[in-house]
Amino acid sequence: MARRSPTPLAGALFVVFLVATFAGLWGDTPPGDASGPTVISFYEDKGTQGMVAAVMLALSAVPLLVFAAAVRDRLRAALPEGSVLPGLAFGAGIVAAAGFTTAAAAHFAVAANAEELEPAAAQAVNTIDADLFLGFSMGLGTLVLAMSVAALRSDVLPTWSGWAGVALFVVSVTPVGAVAFPLWVLWILMSSVMLYRRDAGVSARRTAATRIIFGESA
């Protein structure tokens, strides 16, 4: 029986962490232009929730890195030697993980210390916290793009998923780009499961080929 490597499913675990963080814990935080007193008042009531959300967001970087490493290995096996896509995908995963960790640190700082900060300082930290999405967004978008191009050049993922990923990346640089992020997350969940399922097929073919070779050699 062919063995499946579970590492591609780290992408699905990353999505679970992300959904639990943003949909369940992050809440309706103050916008970047909120006043200092508004920020302080918000985190006086929801500081603990904000700290838990920050820890969850930081933890999401771990399965994301595992997923990026699994994608790199899979693309190396599927693409011609010398292709830049495996390295690009892995590097993008590192950038996204660093972006999520940085955003988590900033959010933890404002949630944990808002009550002790002067209004001007609370406003400044909250503004930084609200605008740290660029780092992880660019990393995640580039990861999706690298995997999508690889899908168009190989059978690592279905061709339709490659075109869908490229379309999402194009949408991300338009005025309605904000809708791309949740769709990227959905795309990663989908690709994580497909990579896991396809791994079984690859393993089965390798096992069958090995048996035929040894059977002929016997």
Mean pLDDT across 196-202: 68
| Whole-number pLDDT of residue 132 | 81
Contact between 67 and 5 under an 8 Å Cβ cutoff? The reply is: no
User: Which of 36-45, 97-106, 159-168 has the weakest average pLDDT?
Assistant: 36-45
* Predicted structure pTM score: 0.84
- pLDDT tens for residues 7-33? 999 999 999 999 988 887 777 778 888
Provide the pLDDT confidence category of residue 129 given band limits of 50, 70 and 90: confident
| Whole-number pLDDT of residue 211 | 40
| Whole-number pLDDT of residue 146 | 96
| Whole-number pLDDT of residue 3 | 66
Mean pLDDT across 75-101: 95
Domain ranges of the chain: 7-217
